[in-house]
Structure 1
Amino acid sequence: MIKRQAKVESGGAIASAIRTIETEKAGLAALSAVLDGPLCGPFCEAVDRIADIAGRVIVTGIGKSGHIGAKIAASLASTGTPSFFVHPVEANHGDLGMITRDDVILAMSWSGESSELQGIISYSRRFSIPLISITSGERSTLARESDVVLLLPKAAEACPHGLAPTTSTLMQLAIGDALAVSLLEARGFTATDFKTFHPGGKLGASLSHVSEIMHTGENMPLVPLGTSMPDAVMVLSRKRYGCVGVLNDDGILIGIITDGDIARNLALNLAELRVEDIMTRAPKTVKPSTLATAALGVLNQHNISALIVTDETFRPVGVVHFHDLLRIGVA
């Protein structure tokens, strides 16, 4: 039974945490160095092989390498590279049938001698399925059998006993992320593509465009130049966006009046004024293709609650309010 101290000394805990992070940083620095050296060729070859396949990336690994592998498979899939994780033990009991000759296998083992991987290695060799390995075992069974070896440098584990996988798993995760991002960039994967795989949650909302949430047509709070202030206030009140856009004779947006503008001019006789007397000229606008997060940034920067959406000719095509961004989960 493991004995526990009654209370952890804060100084010792922080020193341990900093030591762990510094040790892992050293591992990442070593990985960065070999990527700019002997690992450069194999890494580029791995990216090319994965980019050229017609099938999927099959990620596999056991233990902590397996947990990291599952995350790498998820990252690849979410960035445009079809991928999934196959547990090597389950593969030995029927799941090898999930792997086709159009796929590529990405096998992970720090030592390269995980016996559980033998079945999937043999299967890849039997059916000529490309095998890419992530390992630190240069002369290991996995490295010898692989078509491409991403050989990770030896590095000290953060565990004081040198036993618990810490630095090693971080390096595996980093090389997996590097593969995913390199493939993303090679394919020209865009924010729009990213949204296709992330339709839900805050991330999906942040990748929405203003055109998807803006109010259009009769819902837009617009009045022509020369409109009396009482009539403009009626439109502002009826539309409930806290603003009203002002158009010239060509339908181009030339100004805006907000609740704040009206409040600041209450000392005047609004009944005798027209919109051009108090409107803010050259108002802040966004395009329909603007990301929702960018629209939120404009609202926050200028401390306003709504934006008129205009086309290339500066004609209004919609209006977006802070509440719309709040509703989809961006704000």
Structure 2
Amino acid sequence: MLDASQGAEPLPPSGRDLLLSRARGIVDIEIQALEDLKAQMDEQFVKAITLMEACQGRVIITGMGKSGLIGKKIAATLSSTGTPSYFLHPAEGSHGDLGMLMKQDVVIAISNSGETPEILGILPLVKRFGVPLIGMTGNLQSTLAQQSDVTLNIAVRQEACPLGLAPTASTTATLALGDTLAVVLLERRGFSEEDFAMFHPAGNLGKRLLLRVSDVMHTGDRLPLVSLQTPFLEALMEASRKQMGMAIVLDEQGVMQGVLTDGDVRRALTRFSDPRSIALAEVMTRAPKQIEPDELAVTALRLMEEHKITALISCSPQGQPIGAVHMHDILKTGIS
């Protein structure tokens, strides 16, 4: 046995090439499974989508072993994209959990062989409920296929496992088929980013979809505001106090005329020998980038990255600043 503390001996070039060749061959088998799945999609897929779209209850996914693990992922994907769904363990189903089934539901049963005993054991009860049954199987002559109202073909030419025993290419095809069902339903339901965010409020994903500029922007006394007549050094001090990396320059009516940025300051100090002689109108950036307060914060971040700036201004229709957002304020929220 290899001593873990010593580590494995480096492979010779021939061994390395053989290993990589084998790995790529396995990926080729999985790719072929997906190509076959695409070719096998027919009217049965359309019928499955029609049943699921018309479902007034939930889409119940059931499967045993590796098919069950894939089924759990499919149920999670459906639920997060607007199709209420949950996973039902078939063995538990025959011991009382089928009580969760309602006549408004649709059942998707996954079995590559189509003869999984635990799946076949609950089929009579599913049929008794009169619930539509969609079968995912690689054997169109199987009991599951014959009992299903709709049969989706997940047959593959071969498993990536050299023994042909461990579900590999077949589970890849099943997972891809589940994703396809979920995404087609998402599109048909007109499921939006806002809808998606409602199911993902926590973490980076929810923040990207829900957080608005107005949630993080500086307002009121936190805004670094100066007038056109403000001496250069005083404007610089205001920008430093408000920690925005800029000062917003206003006319007598409070309308924004420009901003004094860190870059403007550096360029001004190289042009003028005496900072006291600098007029803001000569060195400020006119027509700075703006953003509406109800825009997504992630949109603001994208604009700042695109234009290589660190802040954006929000103004009223009359051009008066109502807020400003700094890149650091957005990054602090966890959005990236």
The verdict on a shared fold, with TM-score over 0.5 as the criterion, is yes
What are the residue-to-residue correspondences of 1:198-237 with 2, within 5 Å?
A: 198-207=200-209, 208-237=211-240
1:85-234 superposed matches below 5 A: 85-207=87-209, 208-234=211-237
Cα distance in 1 for partners of 2:108, 2:59 equals: 7
Q: 1:217 to 1:101 in 2, by over 3 A?
A: farther
Q: How big is the alpha-carbon RMSD for the aligned residues of Structure 1 and Structure 2?
A: 2.3
The separation in 2 between residues aligned to 1:232 and 1:137, in whole angstroms, is: 76
Q: Return 110-119 or 298-307, whichever deviates more.
A: 298-307
The range that moved more, 297-306 or 320-329, is: 297-306
> Cα offset for 1:103?
1.3
Q: Secondary structure at the match of 1:307?
A: strand
Q: Which residue identity does 2:129 align to in structure 1? A: F
Contact 1:106 1:132 in 2 (8 A): yes
Partner of 2:296: 291
Structure 1 residue runs of 5 or longer lacking an equivalent are none
Moved more, 280-289 or 176-185: 280-289
Deviations 1:179-233 (A, max 9, x none): 1111111111111111111112222222233233222233222334444323322
**Equivalent position amino acid for 2:21 in 1:** A
Q: In structure 2, what is the equivalent of residue 32 of structure 1?
A: 38
Q: TM-score if structure 2 supplies the norm length?
A: 0.88
Structure 1 equivalent of residue 285 of structure 2 = 280
Contact 2:155 2:170 in 1 (8 A): no
CA contact (8 A) 1:155 1:168 kept: no
Inter-CA distance 84–255: structure 2 relative to 1 (3 Å threshold)? same
AA matched with 1:127: F
1:318 pairs with one of 323, 329, 332: 323
Alignment match, 1:61 = 63
State the shift of 1:312 in Å.
6.3
CA offset at residue 315 of structure 1?
4.7
Shift of 1:124: 1.5
1: CA distance, partners of 2:318 / 2:118? 64
> Which residue does 1:15 correspond to in 2?
21
Q: 2:262 aligns with which of 230, 253, 259?
A: 259
Verify the 8 A CA contact 1:91 1:119 in the aligned structure 2.
Answer: no
Greater displacement, 96-105 / 230-239: 230-239
Match of 2:5 in 1: none
| CA spacing shift, 1:243–1:164, aligned 2, 3 Å | same
Q: Separation in 2 of the partners of 1:252 and 1:110?
A: 68
One-letter identity of the residue aligned with 1:256: V
Query: Which of 317, 327, 331 is residue 332 of structure 2 equivalent to?
Result: 327
CA distance in 1, matches of 2:192, 2:254: 34
**CA distance in 2: counterparts of 1:237 and 1:29, whole angstroms:** 60
Report the alpha carbon displacement of residue 251 of structure 1 after superposing the two structures with TM. 4.9
Q: What per-residue deviation string (whole Å, max 9, x for no partner) do you get for residues 61-93 of structure 1?
A: 001111100001111111111111111111111
CA distance in structure 2 between the partners assigned to 1:46 and 1:115 by the alignment: 24
TM-score (structure 1 length as normaliser)? 0.90
Contact preservation (8 Å) 2:56, 2:105: yes
The verdict on how the C-alpha distance between 1:13 and 1:227 changes in structure 2, with shifts beyond 3 A counting, is same
CA distance in 2, matches of 1:312, 1:140: 67
Letter in 2 for 1:33: A
Secondary structure of the 2:269 match is: coil
Contact 2:139 2:155 in 1 (8 A): no
**Aligned pairs, number:** 324
User: 1:249 and 1:151, CA in 2 relative to 1: closer, same or farther beyond 3 A?
Assistant: farther
Identity across aligned pairs (percent)? 46
Q: Which amino acid aligns with 2:17?
A: G
Q: Answer yes or no: is the 8 Å Cα contact 2:158–2:169 preserved in 1.
A: yes
C-alpha distance in structure 1 between counterparts of 2:260 and 2:126, whole Å: 68
Q: Does the aligned pair in 2 maintain the 1:56–1:103 contact within 8 Å?
A: yes
Moved more, 128-137 or 299-308: 299-308
Say if 1:126 and 1:251 are closer, same or farther in 2 by CA, change over 3 A. farther
SS of alignment partner, residue 226 of structure 2: strand
Instruction: Give the Å deviation of 1:266.
Output: 1.6
**1: CA distance, partners of 2:198 / 2:333:** 16
